[in-house]
Structure 1
Amino acid sequence: MNKPLFPLGKIVATPGAFKALEESGQQPATFLERHQSGDWGDCGPEDKQENDLSVREGFRIFSVYHTSKGQKIWVITEADRSSTCILLPDEY
């Protein structure tokens, strides 16, 4: 893993995210490590720039990934770095 850019705080996941990860056989740590190291996944260029700013300035950080089964998942770290949530877009 690359050097963490920010703390994750308390890590939580929604039921849908747990199910998607279970179905793909992937671990949450795979996506959390990418998120925390600045690999924003499938975010668009503007969202990636916003995340880079958010790391420096202490705003919310948002990443988009796909499981090996093609299910889209989001990883969101709150601005105060108190928590990070793994969720499906329709659970937002």
Structure 2
Amino acid sequence: MNNKAINKLFSLGQVVATPSALSLLDEHQKTPAEFLSRHQSGDWGELCKEDQQANDSALKHGDRIFSAYKIDDAKIWIITEADRSSTCILLPEEY
């Protein structure tokens, strides 16, 4: 068993997901928890350097945090609101 603790950098608040995002995860036998864990620990996924820096700044200044993860040929986005009240998992076309 791996006892390595995940460093949680911020609160997710209430977590919600769109039906399409959940369907994509299910189709690829992935769970929301694995991507939420990456998001919350500062693994922003498939973001350009500028967006990664914006997230690093958001941790300090309380702005919105955005991550994007590839699942085969598809992508999911995870967005945590600036006030950390909620986090949404969605597909890019649903934004």
Instruction: Report if TM-score (shorter chain) is over 0.5.
Output: yes
- Distance in 2, matches of 1:44 and 1:36, equals 18
RMSD: 0.8
TM-score by length of 1: 0.95
Return the letter of the residue paired with 2:49. Answer: P
Q: 1:75 aligns to what SS in structure 2?
A: strand
- Distance in 2, matches of 1:22 and 1:53, equals 32
TM-score by length of 2: 0.92
Kindly tell me the number of residue pairs found equivalent between the two proteins.
91
Report the structure number with the largest CA radius of gyration: 2
Q: 1:49 aligns to what SS in structure 2?
A: helix
Moved beyond 2 Å, runs of 4+: none
Unaligned runs of 5+ in 1: none
Please say if 1:17 is aligned against 2:60: no
Aligned to 2:87: 84
